[in-house]
Amino acid sequence: MSESQPNPPSLTDYLSPDFASSLGRLDLVARRVVEGFITGLHRSPYHGFSVEFSEHRPYMPGDSLRNLDWKALGKTDRLYVKQYEEETNLRAYLIVDISGSMSFGEDGRLTKFRYATCLAAALSLLMLRQRDAVGLALVDDRVTRFVRPRSVRSHLQTLLLELTKAEPNTKSQMAPAFHDLAERLSRRGLVILLSDMLDDPEQVLSGLRHFRHRGHEVVAMQILDPRERDLDFRRNDTRFVDLEDADADITTQPWHIQEAYQAQMEALIHRYSTGCAEAGIDYALFDTSTPFDHALSHYLVRRKRIG
């Protein structure tokens, strides 16, 4: 008796049906990559576009015979049609942080990693609906998985499967992965980072500037749990364990260090905000206490307004 196979991931694992539907009414504006916003998000698809082979599908009455795959017919004795995808003006690369710190979540909220994957699923759906090509990179101190951008709707299932399989469990040192990835991406596009960015800010900013140097537009979405910002743990002796090093821990009374801790966290956020602005990078802070669909909708509306 064969074991039953697990169901493949579904969009509803990440997005409510209402929110998924609403994404069709929101615009993601790539200001420096895509020209002519007033006339639409893309240049006319009839001027200078090229196509690449995407996948086969069974022949249907009315299909052009020019797209029949005669080799497939010879091998399978069945009629298949070659499908192609347009190389759109926009290619988006979603970079999701899978370092151990992303597994943090307090008071029953989504973990930062789950929040990031939900945002990634929503952005993927939005851009595929716009016929943009979307790719995915999972990173810690290196690029552990890379899925090249495609614009066909069926690509969404591939992206969801990768997000579902990923787990945050390693140390964070993102800059080497950014430099590696910046050299890999041959065609400029929109790079979106989904991370808590709890790393050396100068190293992270250096990696993000590398993308800008290569001609990409960059969006840095910093995702934090509110307890990480305020250290408001209403307990006496509390043991804190490093999620990226189980042997590193400290026991303290949070209220003793809360004020100094908050000042350091706000300084970190400020450094990212100012450093990104100086480099022409769009920075956005996401708090996991805010439902991700509300936060993303607000961000997209703001981005369109300033586009």
Residue 101 lies in a domain: yes
CATH number where 200 lies: 3.40.50.410
224 in the same domain as 99: yes
Report which of 166, 39, 169, 153 is spatially closest to residue 99, judged by C-alpha positions: 169
- The C-alpha atoms of residue 276 and residue 285 are separated, in whole angstroms, by 12
Across the range 243-270, mean pLDDT stands at 69
The CA–CA distances, whole Å, from 250 to 224, 239, 266 equal: 21, 6, 21
Residue 20 lies in a domain: no
261 in the same domain as 155: yes
Q: Which tens digit of pLDDT belongs to each residue from 143-192?
A: 999 999 998 888 988 998 899 889 888 676 899 999 999 999 988 899 99
Residue 122 lies in a domain: yes
Residue 2 lies in a domain: no
pLDDT at 41: 33
250 in the same domain as 135: yes
pLDDT at 76: 82
97 in the same domain as 62: no
Residue pair 59/159 in contact (Cβ under 8 Å)? The answer is no
Residue 107 lies in a domain: yes
Q: Which tens digit of pLDDT belongs to each residue from 17-58?
A: 666 665 554 434 333 323 222 223 333 333 334 455 556 667
The CA–CA distances, whole Å, from 143 to 140, 192, 279, 306 equal: 7, 15, 23, 32
72 in the same domain as 104: no
134 in the same domain as 73: no
Which of 32, 65, 86 finishes a domain? 86
166 in the same domain as 130: yes
Q: In what order do the strands lie in the sheet with 217-224?
A: 143-150, 133-139, 91-97, 190-195, 217-224, 282-287
176 in the same domain as 80: no
Of residues 278 and 108, the one with the higher pLDDT is: 278
Residue 223 lies in a domain: yes
In residues, how long is the chain? 307
173 in the same domain as 115: yes
pLDDT at 43: 35
pLDDT at 98: 94
The answer to which of 19-33, 72-86, 223-237 has the lowest mean pLDDT is 19-33
Which of 86, 110, 136 finishes a domain? 86
Q: Total domain count for the chain? A: 2
Domain that holds residue 220: 91-305
Residue pair 149/33 in contact (Cβ under 8 Å)? The answer is no
218 in the same domain as 102: yes
Q: Which tens digit of pLDDT belongs to each residue from 87-146?
A: 555 889 999 999 988 988 777 778 899 999 989 988 888 888 888 899 999 999 899 999
Residue 270 lies in a domain: yes
171 in the same domain as 275: yes
By percentage, how much of the chain surpasses pLDDT 90? Answer: 33
Residue 117 lies in a domain: yes
200 in the same domain as 119: yes
pLDDT at 185: 92
By percentage, how much of the chain surpasses pLDDT 70? Answer: 69
pLDDT at 1: 46
